[in-house]
Amino acid sequence: MSTGKRLDVVGKPRRRVDSRGKVLGQLRFADDLSLPRMLHCKLLRSPHPHARIESIDVSRAEKHPGVHLVLTGKDFPIPFGIMPVAQDEHALAPERVRFVGDPVAAVIAKDEQTAGEALGLIEVKYQPLPTIATPEEALANAETRIHDYGEQGNIHRNQAYEFGDVEEALAGSDHVFEDTFFYEGNTHLPMEQQASLAAVEGDGKLTLSSSTQNPHYLHRQLARVLQMPASQIRVIATPNGGGFGGKCDPANHELVVSKAALILGRPVKICLTREEVFYQHRGRHPVLMRFRTGVTKDGRLTGMHLQTLLDGGGYGSHGPASTFYTGVLTPVTYELPRFKFEACRVFTNKPPCGPKRGHGTPQPRFGQEVQLDKIAEKLGLDPAEMRLGMVTKADALTANWLKIGSTGLAECIRKVVEMSGWKEKHRKLPEGRGVGLACSAYMCGAGVSIYWNKMPHSGVQLLLDRSGQVSVLCGATEIGQGSDDVLAAIVAETLGIGTGDVRVHTGDTGLTPIDLGSYSSRVTVMMGNAALQAAGRVREQIVAAAAESLEILPGRVLLSQGRVFSADDSSKTMSFAEAVTLAESKFGTLGAVGSYAPPRQPGRYKGSGVGPSPAYSFSACVVETEVDPATGWITVPKIWVAHDIGRAINPVHARGQVIGGVYMGLGEALMEEQVFRRLPAKLSGALVHRIPSMLEYKSLTSLDMPEVEVALVEEPDPNCPFGAKEAGQGPLLPVMPAVANAIFDAVGVRIDELPITPDKVLAALQLKAEGKPPRIGPGSFPNVPYAKAMFVLPPWEGGDGNESTPQRAIAGAAGT
């Protein structure tokens, strides 16, 4: 309905609807909540990375003055997990702990201090078990399984797909490049520690207010674990003080305080300590990867064989999806005629890995984009020109049957080349200084829900009344990304009012229609489309009533800036509130719902549900670096990034999302790592987090962060509300490879693993001085028992999107 209309709200810089409360300190995060008679909960966590629980004696803790309740694993017989295929966690471990920090008991007491004291009175007898520290150890030790489910031994998931005969493509290539990369794990480090408050309300129903990104999935898991009807449970997602994927999984503490509140009939709150946030984790998987990529002599891709090995940590979490995501989005950026990927996730005795900003995709994107830089170097091509020559086209299909909508990738590359002065700098700066370029693509919402169903992915309800009040309700969750503002803006634009005229209610399963949550960069597109539909329906009623009163045709009614008026006669006008009153008189109580489900995707093979999205965003990035040859110290004076956002709903905040993504990517490139060490044998030999604190987990401060110059490229996508695509995740992805490529341009060394720390640069410079290959990175790739690849013909080879038989078997060609 808004096609061709001048936009009043969308695309205009505005104060976010939620920012006033934030700058006043008035917005209430989960730990800011308190209720009369509220009790406090603390969790006892395992000091062992892998052990059998022989006994737990809570009698002394129960007698401690001020303690109201002690819970253990026997109180939680039902397992849970975010994914239906990985229900492998218990709120409190019943008989086995799988990482240092795995919760085993909970104390609920009059205050945190008392609860903490009582934890020390719980006696747990553990029988330590052999521990698995790395994927290599997991592959080598099938026995002492960390879980009794999975593919085999300590392999959790195997996925393998081949889209066209890749060996044939590589054999026919002018060059085949083989590279191995390692991307270390890292964590979200949201500023807000997770907190939850559970209470039984006056009506006997349970309410859980929690810092969760996904109230709907949490709601389902609460019903499962507590064995209560979901309709008796209300989950309120409090505004998240940063999420980045770390608050997606239903968490032990959320289940524990809910159970405790139901037993005690009193409100129970918990706030994790910063140390505990590191144990909760669910962050970036450490991934080892090998690329074998064929190219023509002018640098066009002919085929790629990608192998990945993910270190999953102690539980499943989103792991099955993460495993897919180390492969499926690889073909979205450049035309890739044939593609094979094999992915394997193993269990280790460390905090579980899960979704972090970019979920599974930053790791292969790093390898892919660094390898492209090596290819350009070898072939004597300009890395930007080489990429420009093979970007995927709008509305194209990829080898793995993903449907690309709009794309501004070529424009993104041209923009960063121009803004950065690439042509004057690349391979031309003095020794020690360099520039690197990389690109990426990301999804705008997962095309399939985490559990299979035919229902909408997002629902929006609008309520209007004679006061002119517009209330919009949606289950979407504000995690800082600005989703409340996007929701208000889409409603305001459609109804011709301002965002300040809209009352926003979000993330409350007791009030708001279901939205699947703030993950996979889905909210702007899915919630936005649902909001557009709901607002469009209400708009029709307002227009009909106003047209009747103004005595004009409905098609000539305009809504803009709080007025409803004739397009042809400016004297025929009324306020928005007057029009709402007329509509309420004519139609009765006003309201409408809207809903959205992503379009069906062309892939038909089993597993084709991971990767499809209503649209894809694209990004290109140039990083400049200065490398001190004496110390290996890396300075980044400036970063240029262009992001195809489709359309920016609020350019100030879209730019903020882009810079924030660049920041997190730069941190991952240079310093962020969640790493572990073994304690000396005389202490226990336990595998422990190196130091779970903000001081030791290095992240960029304002002094480390360079200026980021942002170009928002707007290629509106027809599947998206006002054409708007995502900005929250995509711009992170090109940063890490651009840094690595810039370091090569500066000092001629290849660091094929993240983070790129000064010691690695120095070691590579030393190799260079000795005349050896100046590269630091993984030396070999282990022998992984991958699954037999499912063969699917790409669209241009006569495939129909289903599994098929490889032609090579008929031809008798040798496989690998």
Partner 1 sequence: MSGNGKIERRRNVQLRLNLNGEEAEVSFAPYKTLLEVLREDLGLTGTKHGCELGECGACTVLVDGTPVLSCLQLAVECEGRSVETIEGLARGNALHPLQAAFADHGGSQCGYCTPGVIMTAKALLGEEPNPSRDRIREATSGNLCRCTGYNQIVESIEVAAADLRTPGK
Considering the complex, state which of residue 510 and residue 706 has its C-beta at the smaller distance from partner 1.
Answer: 706
Look at the alpha carbons of 254, 255, 258, 264 in this order and tell me if their dihedral is positive or negative.
Answer: negative
Q: Which is nearer to partner 1, 19 or 87 (CB)?
A: 19
Give the tokens for residue 115. Answer: 């609860």
Told to check if 283 binds partner 1 by CB under 8 A, we report no
Residue 271 CB, shortest distance to partner 1, in Å, is: 8
User: 20 or 378, CB closer to partner 1?
Assistant: 20
Site for partner 1 in 188-207 (CB under 8 A): 188-193
Instruction: Show the site string, 700-719: x = touches partner 1 by CB under 8 A, - = not.
Output: xxxx-x-xx-----------
Binding mask 348-387 for partner 1 (x = CB under 8 A): ----------------------------------------
Question: DSSP alpha helices (H): ranges in 558-670?
Answer: 576-587, 651-670
Binding map of partner 1 across residues 628-647, x = CB under 8 A, - = no contact: --------------------
CB of 481 to partner 1, least distance (A): 7
> What is the closest distance, in whole angstroms, from the C-beta atom of residue 582 to partner 1 in the complex?
33
- At closest approach, how far in Å is the CB of 195 from partner 1? 10
CB 316 within 8 A of CB 81: yes
* Interface with partner 1 (CB under 8 A), residue from 37, 693, 759, 785: 693
CA distance 226 to 209: 16
Select 117 or 624, whichever has its Cβ closest to partner 1: 117
Q: Judged by CB under 8 A, which of 8, 18, 167, 752 binds partner 1?
A: 18
Among 20-28, 762-770, 786-794, 799-807, which window interacts with partner 1 (CB under 8 A)? 20-28
> Residue 232 burial (CB < 10 Å; 0-12/13-18/19+)?
middle
E strand or H helix at 268:
strand 268-271
CB contact at 8 A, 401 and 386: no
Q: Interface with partner 1 by CB under 8 A: which range of 99-107, 226-234, 387-395, 695-703?
A: 695-703
The answer to whether residue 675 forms part of the interface with partner 1 (CB under 8 A) is no
Region 766-805 residues binding partner 1, contact defined as CB under 8 A: none
Question: What residue spans of 728-769 are helical by DSSP H?
Answer: 735-747, 758-769
* Distance separating alpha carbons of residues 471 and 488, to the nearest angstrom: 9
Of 5, 20, 37, 690, which lies in the binding site for partner 1, with binding defined by CB under 8 A? Answer: 20
**Stretch touching partner 1 by CB under 8 A, among 216-224, 306-314, 365-373, 662-670:** 662-670
- The span from the CA of 122 to the CA of 352, in Å, is 25
Sheet of 287-295: strand order equals 753-754, 175-183, 287-295, 301-311, 339-346, 155-163, 790-792
Measured CA to CA, the distance from residue 657 to residue 84 in angstroms comes to 31
- Using CB under 8 A as the binding rule, whether residue 147 contacts partner 1 is answered as no
Reduced to 3 states (helix: H, G, I; strand: E, B; else coil), residue 124 is strand
Place of tokens 């790629």: 304
Q: Is 557 in the site for partner 1 (CB under 8 A)?
A: no
Give the footprint of partner 1 on residues 456-495 (CB under 8 A): 479-482
Q: Which stretch binds partner 1 (CB under 8 A): 378-386, 403-411, 437-445, 660-668?
A: 660-668
How far apart are alpha carbons 798 and 700 in whole angstroms? 49
* Window 31-50: residues binding partner 1 (CB under 8 A): 31-32
Is beta strand 175-183 parallel, antiparallel or unpaired with respect to 268-271? Answer: unpaired
Residue of 468, 554, 656, 685 that binds partner 1 (CB under 8 A): 656
Gyration radius from the chain CA atoms: 27
52, 74, 125, 274: which one binds partner 1 (CB under 8 A): 274
CB of 90 to partner 1, least distance (A): 28
Task: In angstroms, give the least distance from the CB of 59 to partner 1.
Answer: 14
Q: Name the residue nearer to partner 1 (CB basis): 293 or 625.
A: 625
Assess contact for 626 and 747: CB atoms under 8 A: no
Stretch in the footprint of partner 1 (CB under 8 A) among 11-19, 99-107, 498-506, 569-577: 11-19
Nearer to partner 1, 18 or 753 (CB): 18
Q: Which stretch binds partner 1 (CB under 8 A): 358-366, 507-515, 648-656, 741-749?
A: 648-656
Instruction: Check binding of 739 to partner 1 (CB under 8 A).
Output: no
With residue 462 as reference, give the H or E element that holds it. strand 458-464
Q: Which of 681, 695, 811, 814 binds partner 1 (CB under 8 A)?
A: 695
Number of shown-chain residues binding partner 1 (CB under 8 A): 61
Q: For residues 168 and 478, which CB has a smaller minimum distance to partner 1 in the complex?
A: 478
- Which range binds partner 1 by CB under 8 A, 468-476, 612-620, 690-698, 788-796? 690-698
Do the Cβ atoms of 243 and 191 come closer than 8 Å? no
In this structure, the number of other CB atoms found within 10 A of the CB of residue 427 comes to: 11
Residue 299 binding partner 1, by CB under 8 A: no
Task: Give the nearer residue to partner 1 in terms of CB position, either 243 or 594.
Answer: 243
Shortest Cβ distance from residue 788 to partner 1 (Å)?
Answer: 42
Q: Which of 1, 5, 28, 548 binds partner 1 (CB under 8 A)?
A: 28
The dihedral over CA atoms of 266, 272, 276, 278, expressed in degrees to the nearest 10, equals 140
In whole angstroms, how close is the CB of 701 to partner 1 at the nearest point? 5
CA distance to 38, 235, 656, 698, 722, per residue, from 194 (Å): 18, 15, 24, 20, 34
Find the shortest distance in angstroms from Cβ 653 to partner 1: 6
Please, which residue, 23 or 683, has the CB nearer to partner 1?
23
Helix (H) or strand (E) holding 288: strand 287-295
Instruction: Tell me how far apart the alpha carbons of residues 316 and 331 are, in angstroms, rounded to a whole number.
Output: 26
Paired with 564 in beta bridges are 559, 574
How many whole angstroms separate alpha carbon 374 and alpha carbon 110? 61
Of the pair 239, 594, the CB lying nearest partner 1 is at 239
Q: Does 401 interact with partner 1 (rule: CB under 8 A)?
A: no
Beta strand 96-97 with 51-57 is antiparallel
Q: What residues contact residue 643 under an 8 Å CB cut-off, 6+ apart?
A: 412, 617, 618, 619, 658, 710, 711, 712, 713, 727, 730, 731
Q: Which of 4, 36, 65, 588 binds partner 1 (CB under 8 A)?
A: 65
21 vs 77 by CB, closer to partner 1: 21
412 contacts: CB under 8 Å, gap ≥ 6 = 439, 618, 619, 620, 642, 643, 644, 711, 713
Cα dihedral 10→12→17→20 (10° resolution): 180
Binding of residue 247 to partner 1 (CB under 8 A) = no
Q: Does 500 bind partner 1 (CB under 8 A)?
A: no
3-class secondary structure per residue, 696-720: CCCCCCCCCCCEEEEEEECCCCCCC
Q: Binding of partner 1 at residue 284 (CB under 8 A)?
A: no
Give the residue with the Cβ less far from partner 1, 591 or 706: 706
Query: Which part of the chain contacts partner 1 (CB under 8 A), choosing from 238-246, 333-341, 391-399, 570-578?
Result: 238-246
- Smallest Cα–Cα separation from 144: which of 51, 54, 79, 80? 51
181 binds partner 1 (CB under 8 A): no
The beta strand positions in 562-615, using DSSP E, are 563-566, 573-575, 590-596
Pairing of strands 616-627, 634-644: antiparallel
Which residues of the chain form contacts with partner 1 (CB under 8 A)?
Answer: 15-16, 18-29, 31-32, 65, 113, 117, 120-121, 188-193, 239-244, 273-274, 479-482, 652-653, 655-657, 659-664, 693-695, 699-703, 705, 707-708
